[in-house]
Structure 1
Amino acid sequence: MQRVTVQYFDPSDGPSFEATYRERHVPLVKAIPGLERFTLTRPRGGEDTPYLVAELWFADLDGLKAGQASEEMAATRADAETYDVARRTMFSGSVEEV
């Protein structure tokens, strides 16, 4: 499995951010080709804990690459840039069952 993780930190208005994210961004993510699973987490923790974590799961590296190169991913990235958050961190990698 391959996973893309996006962490959103300190939105200027948390409830508004989350409502807009769910209404506008979630459908964009779900349209990405090759996407197998999409999860959202509202972490609890310390001072540097993200407000929201999105995880996009793909079956393999080829699926991830195809999804990343798609028009749907481009639209998703463009939408992500519009959110008023202190910072956004994105990374991807292989997931290993242990």
Structure 2
Amino acid sequence: MVSRRRARGILTALGLYMVAAALIAYFGFHAFNGQRGLRARHEIDQQMAELTAELVRLKAEHNQWERKVALLRPDRIDPDMLDEQARLLLNIAHPNDLVLMRQHR
């Protein structure tokens, strides 16, 4: 009788420890590999860094285009920019211009 109670007590304690260990392992695994775990956080941080770099590049390109557009505004047009754009669109050259022809590869 006494050994059965002692065995049952030991097995009950052992069972509780096993359940606790299983719960800790389950939550630990999902804390690392889960949808919102550490690995997912690292991937989100990496993606955020890439998108931030792309945003910086796009802002620089946007500023460049804003400067070019500002030079073509009707209230203060830049003669050099107007000449450049006209020659580009009309595909013409001034008689005093030196034109270099090169072969396309």
TM-score, with structure 1 as normaliser: 0.24
Instruction: Give the number of the structure with larger relative contact order, counting CA–CA contacts within 8 Å between residues 6 or more apart.
Output: 1
- Structure exhibiting the larger radius of gyration computed from Cα positions: 2
TM-score, with structure 2 as normaliser: 0.23
Specify which structure has the higher proportion of helix. 2
